[in-house]
Every structure is written in C-alpha cells, then in structure tokens.
Structure 1
Amino acid sequence: MSGRDGTIKAAIAAGEQVSPAGRRPRPVAGIAPRLHERAFDILASQIASGALAPGERLLESRVAERFGISRAPARQALARLERVGLVSRSDGHGFEVLPLAGPPPVVSAKTISDGATIQLAPESTWQRIYADVEQEVVSRTALGAFRVVENHLAAYYGVSRTVAREVLSRLNERGVVRKDTRLHWYAPALTPAYVAELFEMRAILEPGALRLAFPRLAPGQVATLRANLRDAAAHPDTVDGARLGILETELHVGLLGRCGNATLMEALATCQTLLVALTFLYARAPQPHGREPFIAEHLDVAERLAAADIEGAADALRNHLRGSFGRAVERLDRVRREFCPGPLPYLSPL
C-alpha cells in the first residue's frame, strides 16, 4: 500500500470525507476553511515534502505560535494528523512525525519553506505595534536602563492596556524587558557585565543545542545556511544591517530551534535580546569596510556541519560566541557616543 493510499484509508476510517480523486472536498463557496483545517493542510504538506522529517516533534504550543492561532485549532490539527497516520503521540509530550509507508501522500496545500512564519489568523493589535516598541526599547538599552510604563505605552499607541500588557509580556519572553521587585516593567541596560553574562550563557547552552539539532535538521538546511553565508562573504558590500540580522537568526534560532528540546530553547530565548540588539547595532555601528567577522565564523560552523563534524561545529560555535562578546561591547560603546534618541512618554530612564 502506498503512503498516499494508506493516508486516504486512514482518513476514511477516521470518518474524514474524501473525494473520489482521493482529495478532501473543497469548502463550500463563500466559506473559508477553518483554522485547524488550514493548519492541518500545511503540516501534512510539509510532512509529505520532507520539510518536517520523521522523528521530529510537534508541540501544540509551537504550532499555535507559528501559525498565529490559539491552542485549540492547533490541537485539532495535530489530532487529525494522528488520525490519518502522519504523526503519533510522543512518549514525553507532543507528537512525533512518522516515516511515510511509501511514496509521499498527495496533498493540496502549498508546501512552505521550513521555518517560515505562516499567519492563519488575522493579525492581533499587539502584533501591529510590537516590532516598533521592540526597536524603540532595544535601541535605548545601549544607553542605560529604562522603566516601561504600561498605561503610557497604551496611550502613546492608542490601544488598550490589555494590548500594551500583551506587548510587554512578549518582550519579556524575548528577554528585552523584566519585572522588578515591585512588579514594574523595566528594560535592563546592555552594560558590559550584563552582555558578558548573556554571552556566557549562550556559550554554555548553544553548543549543546547544536548537537541535539544536527540529526533533526531538515533536508538541505545546512546547504542553504552555507550558501547564504558564502554569498554574504563573497559580496560584503551588499550585506546591510537587516541581512546581518537574518544571518544571525538563521543559525542561532532557525538551526538551533531544531534541537527538539523546548525547555532548552526557552532558556536560550532569554538571550534573544542580544539578537534584537545586534540587529540595531549592525545598522548603527557597522564594521569598517563592510566586513562582518561573524560571517566567516558562522561559515566555519556550517562547513563543519556539512562535513558531519558535529564536535568541530560545536567548538566553532563556542569560539564564535567568545569572539562576538568583544565586538558587541565595542559596538555598544560607539552607539553610546553617537546615538541620541528622542524621549518617549512610556520610557523613563532609571
């Protein structure tokens, strides 16, 4: 029995409606597919294409976050994938992608590149202002610590305090803001001591995440990473701050995120304020002659991964992080000397 036939029979057994051609019927004209149906189609397509590899774990919370939906439709989509035999419940928690029994099933959903953000639900109000708030806060932490006043933030953007609170909660998850002992929001200054702590934590955790991620990487993921870095190295004058930020994220978030350990990635998320800050610093304090040292260091990691030298890649990653600390501190010093942002009503210097 082919994988496609097995999937169809499992769908019938589970009570799914399947057309004579082997495809689920299209929704009635004028009625949009439900969120869980759209999430199911995308995930099934990615399993069929190999973008989601056998053995990869799918967590309800991660599916919900990636598609911008609540946990309920994410749970329904995963349950449906289980019913049709594309995933099974993991021994720990979540679901594990199963190997296909034969040729990949034919699915109608468009295959989307792995790691992409697919917004299925309408953008929330907090999402419309989040990027701007994050940039404004992070750009000032190079200068010092700031208290973030929730009601002033809401008034400045013309949103409710509930929306402002959601933005601050998301910033807290990224490590950009914290709460003090009086439960007031504040953004800690990126002092050399604080930056040193963040880099030290990354140097301990990221090599371990890399080792776990290597056997779980999507087909072609290392090749794509290496190609992007080679192109950046060959054409340094075309690499701006935004692209540097993308290259940073491709390794430190996209690749390490394949480690399959949600607890580890949550610990690493507290360091992501550095990635946000570095994107700002790349634009404000670029390297002389447009050459960024981390590109060669990332490329060293990618080349070792391509050669299946996982321990060499972990060592290269650790060395990259150690070298990045000094460059980050130097950039922060330059920004403090040269950057003079205007005041914002929701930020008060501490």
Structure 2
Amino acid sequence: MAARRDHLSAAPQGEAGDRRPTYERIAALLRGAVDAGRLPPGLVLSEVPLARLFGASRSPIRQALAQLEADGLVRRFDGRGLVVGDCAPNRAAVTPAMLGLSAGALGSIHERTADALYYRVERELILHSLRGAFRVSELALSRHLDVGRSVARDVLVRAQGAGLIDKGDNSRWTVVPLGPERIDQFYELRILLEPVALGQAAPRIPPDLLAAVAAGHREAGAAWPDLDAATLDRLETDLHVHCLDFATNPEIGEALRRSRMVMLSGKHVQRALGATAALDRFMDEHLEVIEALRLGRTAAAQDGLARHLASSRAKALERLAAFRRLPQPEPAPYIDA
C-alpha cells in the first residue's frame, strides 16, 4: 500500500520558478545532500520514511531513488531500501537539516505537490458542474488519490471555498451546478462591480505591484500557449483578485468572491475542448487595464476592464455550449450522479 500524503497547503498557490516534476526536485535535493556529505555513506534511504518527510506518495520517491541509483550514488543491498555509497548499511532518520533545508523550506515541496493534487480534483469537479449536480464521496476521493481522509477533506474544503462544492444538512458533499444561466449571472455581477472596485482600488495599488503584475503578463504572453493551470490562475488572480483587494468597500469584494468560480471554469473548459477551441489570450486585455492603471488613467482602466469582462462573458457561454456537445465521459470514481 502506498504511503499516504499527509500534508496539504490550504492556500491556492501557483507554481513559481521551479516547475520540474516532484520526483526530479526530490532527486535534486537528495543528490545535493549526498554530494555535500550530509547523507553519509552507508545511510539507507527507504521509500516510506522519505515519503513521510516530503509529504509525497511513494511513487515520486521511488522515481527519485531510481535516478540516484542510475547516477551511481546509491546501491541495492540485501534489505529494504537503497544504501548511499559502498559502506555497510546504517539505518538512521533523514531530517530536513540533512537535506540542507529548514522545515519551512521543505514545505514548498509539500505545497507544490498539494497544488498538483488540488488542480486535478478542481478540474474534475468543474467539468462535472457544467453538466449538473453530483454527489462527492470523501472516502472514495481519498482512495482515488491514495491519500488519507484528512487530506481528501482538505481538498474538498478548498474546493468549497472556491464555490465548486457544498455540504448539505446531511453532511454530504455536492457539486454545485454551473450552467449557462448561472455563468451569465456571475458575469453580470462582475461587469457591474469590478469596474467600481477598480476605481476604488486604483489610487491604493502599490506601483511595485502593478509593475510586477505587468511583467508577469508579458512573460506569459511570450510563453503562450505553453502555460500551465497554475500560471493561468496567477494571471487571473493578479488582476481580478489582488488588485481589486485594494477596493475600499469590503462588501463588493465579498460579492465578487462568489463569482470567481467562472474564472476557474474557463481554463478547464478550454483544456477539455483541446484543439477544437481557440485558446483565450486574455493576458493582452489584462495588460491594457494594467498599463492604464500605471499611467494613472483610472477611467480608461475601468472601461478596459468592462470590455474585457463582456468579451469573456460571450466566450465563456460559447465554450460551455461547445463543451456540452462533447461526449459525456464516465464520472470520476469519487463522483456519483
């Protein structure tokens, strides 16, 4: 039985900087520790203890150890695990300090792994929500992901915070339907409130933040269309969440929070449609708004945001209609009709 992942970051952070697979990051840390002598010759590296340390399943640990074996840094012996170097096997606990990390730095591995786990579930929940209401089994999810019940619950609580699922009086999780009428209503709300929030936020947004947001959008534009879900999330939240968070009316922010699931649905629907749909290069429209803010042209930024939202509204409804014409796949193992 695979070791279960017991760490989940509660905050929806995107992957920034190092985008290598989890096993490659783990292999690099172990390799560096061996080369530096912090993992001494004779030390036994086993899948289960390392999986617990990194908050990962055994699969990426196994892949990481296979890389080290291929490099000649570890070897097999008559026992469980692999041994560093050529000395006699010695079983001792591997600590974050031996990897040259603090517990907090080690947490970045946990967060990236957790994000990959969450985005997978998020996608499945959203694509089901576009077809109606479904029940979600927490126990079946934990088995499907090969994680503990507490981690599966954390995933579902995070999805609940995003408005994707709800928990009724019977304590059962249910996918919240996201049909064309609801999408249209959410966009109507956003078109009414986001330009107002932007007008309030404009004089309060730090110039350094606007510069960083603009730079991130330009980088994404240069990499288009080779962008992952985390990057698309960051682009959306930079403008529609982080910048608007500087608005002075908190009630507007609370109302807009409920509408953010349409931002999440857009990226997943585009991926599901694949080559049949033109990807939405929305960062160009974002940049128009951001640059107007940087120039102090608040009214122009508000107008640009309103146009962007109106365009996004039409595209979202078109994509939903195209998605519903696709053959309906089998539900995920943890989702029941």
Same fold (TM over 0.5): yes
| 1:333 aligns to 2:321 (yes or no) | yes
Q: Give 1:285's aligned residue.
A: 273
Shift of 1:173: 0.9
Decide which moves more: 261-270 or 194-203.
261-270
Q: Tell me how many residue pairs correspond in the alignment.
A: 232
Alignment of 1:221-240 (within 5 A): 221-229=209-217, 235=222, 238=225, 240=227
Does 2:136 align with 1:148? yes
Task: Specify the alignment match of 2:42 in structure 1.
Answer: none
Deviation per CA, 1:141-197: give whole Å up to 9, x if none. Answer: 233322112232233334444433332222111111123454432112221001012
Question: What is residue 298 of structure 1 aligned with on the other side?
Answer: 286
Matches within 5 A, 1:1-350: 123=110, 129-180=117-168, 182-229=170-217, 235=222, 238=225, 240=227, 242=229, 243-259=231-247, 264-285=252-273, 292=280, 294-338=282-326, 340-349=328-337
CA–CA distance in 2 between the matches of 1:165 and 1:236? 35
Equivalence for 1:81: none
1:248 aligned partner, one-letter code = E
Identity value in percent: 33
CA distance in 1, matches of 2:271, 2:313: 18
| AA matched with 2:237 | T
SS of the residue corresponding to residue 178 of structure 1 reads strand
Amino acid in the other structure paired with 1:139: L
Deviations 1:78-97 (A, max 9, x none): xxxxxxxxxxxxxxxxxxxx
Report the Cα distance in structure 1 between the residues aligned to 2:262 and 2:106, rounded to whole angstroms: 25
- CA distance in 2: counterparts of 1:288 and 1:158, whole angstroms: 33
Q: Which residue matches 2:31?
A: none
Match of 2:24?
Answer: none
What residue is the counterpart of 1:31 in the other structure? none
CA gap 1:319/1:218 in 2 versus in 1, 3 angstroms: same
1:27-84 per-position Cα deviation (integer Å, ceiling 9, x unaligned): xxxxxxxxxxxxxxxxxxxxxxxxxxxxxxxxxxxxxxxxxxxxxxxxxxxxxxxxxx
What residue number does 1:94 align with? none
Cα distance change, pair 217–237 in 1 and its aligned pair in 2 (3 A)? closer
Q: CA deviation at 1:347?
A: 0.5
Q: 1:260 to 1:151 in 2, by over 3 A?
A: farther
Aligned to 2:37: none
Partner of 1:115: none
CA–CA distance in structure 1, aligned partners of residues 277 and 145 of structure 2: 39
Quote the residue 2:98 is aligned against: none
Distance of aligned partners of 1:286 and 1:316 in 2 relative to their CA distance in 1, 3 Å threshold:
farther
RMSD over equivalenced CA pairs, Å: 3.5
Structure 2 Cα separation of the partners of residues 323 and 162 of structure 1: 40
Tell me the distance in 1 between the aligned counterparts of 2:144 and 2:285: 41
Q: How far has the Cα of 1:237 moved from its partner?
A: 5.3
Q: Which ranges in structure 2 are unaligned for 5 or more consecutive residues?
A: 1-104
Deviation at 1:126, TM superposition (A): 7.0
Flag the 1:164–1:262 CA change in 2: closer, same or farther, 3 A: farther
Q: What letter is aligned with 1:282?
A: Q
1: distance between equivalents of 2:226 and 2:147?
36
Does the CA-based 8 Å contact 1:237-1:290 persist in structure 2? Answer: no
Tell me how far apart the structure 2 counterparts of residues 333 and 290 of structure 1 sit (CA, whole Å): 14
How far apart in 2 are the matches of 1:326 and 1:119?
Answer: 43
Instruction: Point out where structure 1 has 5 or more consecutive residues left out of the alignment.
Output: 1-117
Q: Which amino acid aligns with 2:282?
A: F
Once residues 238 and 120 of structure 1 are traced to their aligned partners in structure 2, the CA distance between those partners, rounded to angstroms, is 30
> Normalization by structure 2: what TM-score?
0.57
Separation (CA, whole Å) in 2 of partners of 1:253 and 1:277:
16
Secondary structure, aligned partner of 1:285: helix
DSSP 3-state at the match of 1:345: coil
Judged with a 3 Å threshold, the aligned counterparts in structure 2 of structure 1 residues 133 and 231 are, in CA distance, closer, same or farther, namely closer
